[in-house]
Amino acid sequence: MLNYHFPVLKKEVLNYWLGPKTLKKEKIILIDATCGEGGHSLAILEKAKKEKWLKKLTLLCFDADKEIIKRAKKRLIKFQKNIIFVNANFNNLDKKLKKLKVFKIDGILLDLGVSMYHYKFSTRGFSLMNNEPLDMRLDKKQKLTAAEIINYFSELELTNIFKFFGEEKWSKKIAQKIISEREIKKIESSQELADIISKAIPVKFHPKHIHPATRIFQALRIVVNKELDNLQKLLEMVPEIINPNGRILVISFHSLEDRLVKNYFKKLVTDKTDQIYGQVIEPAPYVLITKKPVIADVKELSENVASRSAKLRIIEKNN
């Protein structure tokens, strides 16, 4: 039996993915924009079956990774009549929907976490603990790899990547250490890089609850996969294709993502007002479903350590 990734905030996603008015529709189209191994998709399909609205549900499952799509197909085989799998990054969502002749949807989920499959089985250097090639591409068709960044980018470029995308205060020291080490020998594996980073930070300043290289690995993954650029593109694209009463759900795992989502959602739920009199001249197209981000409860935190940094934000389109 395959060991599948456990989806974070599963219960909360099921509670919020569809509003009560959407459930009354004759046809429902949902998108899992980051399907991964299909954990959230399986949950919503099982709920639809249990509550007897499966026949009217079509679920579009997007993922950039061809290998992980295969795992999702195997996991969701019994619901294949209700699913359309799309092997593509969500930044191409609009083009792919046009090809499928899907012009409006009733809800979209975006889980920005990396699947346990990538850490444990992909052998692409996502994990700090495994001795794997420094790749970190979610989509193997992309050219840029983590190894190229580490071995060929300048000290200033590395420092800026680590500082901005990893929010690492030891960025300059780490960049300098990488430069000196790669002059001796090319840095090829994730374990090599993790060891170099650990040595660059004085032991007394090592973080207590995470590996010293965690933030650097996060920064590299974000840059390699253009995660923030792709997220921004999707956020700008999706609001127009949501049906009235449809919802946008985003699960983020670090402050850069969450800030981007929070600020964009704020624009969508804010009325346009007259600058002189303050009167509403255009009502906000969306409304916040929860004022604060939804986080994991005590039970999930004890069962799934990955949920500790997850934040779910939800907005719904007005009539």
pLDDT in tens, 199-256: 999 999 999 888 999 999 999 999 999 999 999 999 999 999 999 999 999 999 999 9
State whether CATH 3.40.630.10 applies to domain 10-117+228-317: no
Q: Do strands 83-87 and 242-252 pair parallel, antiparallel, or not at all (unpaired)?
A: unpaired
Could you give the CA distance from residue 113 to residue 110 in angstroms, rounded to a whole number?
Answer: 9
- Write out pLDDT tens, residues 148-173: 999 999 999 999 999 999 999 999 99
Q: What are phi and psi of 202, to 5 degrees?
A: -55, 135
Give the residue from 229, 210, 195 showing the smallest Cα distance to 306: 210
Listed in order, the ranges of the chain carrying CATH 1.10.150.170 are 143-224
Residues 6+ apart with CB under 8 A from 228: 165, 222, 256, 257, 260
- Tell me the residue ranges of DSSP E strands in 124-214: none
Q: How confident is the model at residue 114 (pLDDT cuts 50, 70, 90)?
A: confident
Model confidence, pTM: 0.92
Residues 223 and 162: their CA atoms lie apart, in Å, by 10
- CATH class entry, domain 143-224: mainly alpha
Number of Cβ within a 10 Å radius of residue 205: 10
